[in-house]
Amino acid sequence: MAKQTDNIIKNAMILFMITVIAGTLLGLTYEVTKEPIRIQQEKLKNNALKAVVIGASDFVLVDLEEEAKEQGIQNLYEATKDGAVVGYAFEMTATEGYGGDIALMVGIGIDDQILGIDVIKHNETPGLGAKITEQPFKSEFEGQPTAPLAVIKGAATGNPGEIASISGATITSASVTNAVNVATQYYTDNMAGVK
């Protein structure tokens, strides 16, 4: 009986030591990779800013009220070139994606048109929803008015305000479009006409 108790204590101590070592290694790995991950995320964000407001040289973070953040606007940047405002970039989170949240950047010019979108992060299905990162889908937003956009099934018609759904990824297409609509509505309510 005493031998069995000693064996249980020995096994518990071994398991405890393995847990401590594994936890320590996990913590060290986190600390070592935290900064490179942050730098990579910052690089992705900066590339997205430059992609949605082409030609802008500076991006200044604009203060947002809490209501805007609740709608999915994470950050708002004023894009300038040679000191003049050329547009705005909205860092958005689309929460209704098929594979979870979708982080994207939406560019809107001072001419009240969408300049473009760029997807920063997603977990969508490869070959279906992941096509939101490809040019055929992203280019549908370019030049669209800041009026609400609607997702249509089938081929693109070229009509203003219509975005063709990605075949097999209607939920993802609608999620991105809804996030763009939030950005354009905020722009219309707060910045349209301010040059």
pLDDT at 111: 92
Mean pLDDT of 84-105: 93
- pLDDT at residue 5 in the model: 84
Going through 8-152 in order, the beta strands assigned E by DSSP cover: 58-62, 73-81, 84-94, 102-109, 114-121, 150-152
Q: What pLDDT shows up at residue 193?
A: 63
Confirm whether pTM is higher than 0.85: no
Q: Which of 101, 59, 95, 54 lies closest to 77 in space, CA to CA? A: 59
Residue 89 vs residue 165, higher pLDDT? 89
What is the average pLDDT across 100-129? 93
Mean pLDDT of the 91-115 span: 93
What is the torsional sign of CA 50, 53, 151, 76? Answer: positive
Determine the pLDDT at residue 129.
86
Q: Does position 24 have pLDDT exceeding 60, yes or no?
A: yes
> What are the two backbone dihedrals, phi and then psi, of residue 148, each rounded to the nearest 5 degrees?
-55, 140
Q: Express each pLDDT in 47-83 by its tens digit.
A: 999 999 999 999 999 998 888 888 899 999 999 999 9
More confident residue, 2 or 125: 125
C-alpha span between 193 and 65 (Å, rounded): 20
pLDDT at 70: 87
